[in-house]
Amino acid sequence: SQQGEEDPQALSIQEGENATMNCSYKTSINNLQWYRQNSGRGLVHLILIRSNEREKHSGRLRVTLDTSKKSSSLLITASRAADTASYFCATGTSGSRLTFGEGTQLTVNP
């Protein structure tokens, strides 16, 4: 079963705009990770935020985590056409098992 739910399911923006994707989850977590997937290929790790962290940055990515609301958001600033992909949040609980959400399909129009 899926733990995370991403919102929106699909997002279409123009190049240069910011893209925000949200993720909600149900149980306590050790960490939350965001992955990117191009055209049904392998997943690429973007960023990991631990349960005791509230915000993290990596290049044009900004992730926030609110454990009281069991939610996270991924912000991509100054988007590019190459950012077009599916984005998944995944929660880490026991061991190395990751529980993924359904994903957000981001389209960045040139």
Partner 1 sequence: ETGVTQSPTHLIKTRGQQVTLRCSSQSGHNTVSWYQQALGQGPQFIFQYYREEENGRGNFPPRFSGLQFPNYSSELNVNALELDDSALYLCASSPGLAGIQETQYFGPGTRLLVL
Which residues lie below 8 Å from residue 93, measured CB to CB, with a gap of 6+? 27, 28, 29, 30, 99
Residues contacting 5, CB < 8 A, separation 6+: 23, 24, 25, 101, 102
Asked if 22 is part of the footprint of partner 1 (rule: CB under 8 A), the reply reads: no
Q: Which of residues 48-77 bind partner 1 (CB under 8 A)?
A: 48, 50
**Shortest distance in whole angstroms from residue 28 CB to partner 1:** 12
Q: Is 45 near partner 1 (CB under 8 A)?
A: yes
> In 3D, which of 32, 37, 27 has the Cα closest to residue 47?
32
**Minimum Å distance from CB 93 to partner 1?**
9
Look at residue 97 and give its three-state secondary structure.
Answer: coil
Rounded-to-integer distance, Cα 25 and Cα 103, Å:
13
User: What residues between 82 and 101 interact with partner 1 by CB under 8 A?
Assistant: 88, 90, 92, 94-101
The answer to whether 26 contacts partner 1 (rule: CB under 8 A) is no
Interface contacts to partner 1, rule CB under 8 A: 1-2, 4, 30-31, 33, 35, 40-45, 48, 50, 88, 90, 92, 94-103
